[in-house]
Amino acid sequence: MSNKEGSGGFRKRKHDNFPHNQRREGKDVNSSSPVMLAFKSFQQELDARHDKYERLVKLSRDITVESKRTIFLLHRITSAPDMEDILTESEIKLDGVRQKIFQVAQELSGEDMHQFHRAITTGLQEYVEAVSFQHFIKTRSLISMDEINKQLIFTTEDNGKENKTKFTGEILLTEALGIKPDRSSI
């Protein structure tokens, strides 16, 4: 007979090692104790953070999918007359992506960006690729980071007065992608 078989040896479950009278039975927990209230608060905070992370992951996936569709659309350009229609359609698709990025910015408003970095990076990278490809097809030149940032300035209405908010541009792209805008022209 081997050591693994037989009378149990060292592989016994921990609760079997205590005599019956020393086992911990379920004790009543005072749910209003300061420690329990603190843990309840931490639980709610973590649940809210995880929910936000999941919402950001979903938005990032949507951004990725729509950006890829835009890139595939741009690959279909074969002739000059066809080009204008496809560029117009790609601009409409990218406007939809920008609205998703605006939703990301709203979710991240007042938050530490580094905690949600992994949730949004993929979508933003794909967006930059789509915008860069579209710009290259239009102009036969590369787009600058400042030009991409300018596309990510959103106008919101705040109690009847117009309020321009640079929610995402530099902040999202700089923090999430690690891209630093070119400041030499300023």
Residues comprising the binding site?
129
Reference 117, options 167, 178, 51; nearest CA is: 178
* Short-list 135, 127, 118, 117, CA closest to 175: 117
Angle value at C-alpha 156, between 152 and 162, nearest 5 degrees: 120
Binding residues for Mg(2+): 129
178 in the Ramachandran plot: left (φ > 0), alpha (ψ -120 to 50) or beta? Answer: left
Cβ–Cβ < 8 Å for 89, 71? no
* β partners of residue 154: 165
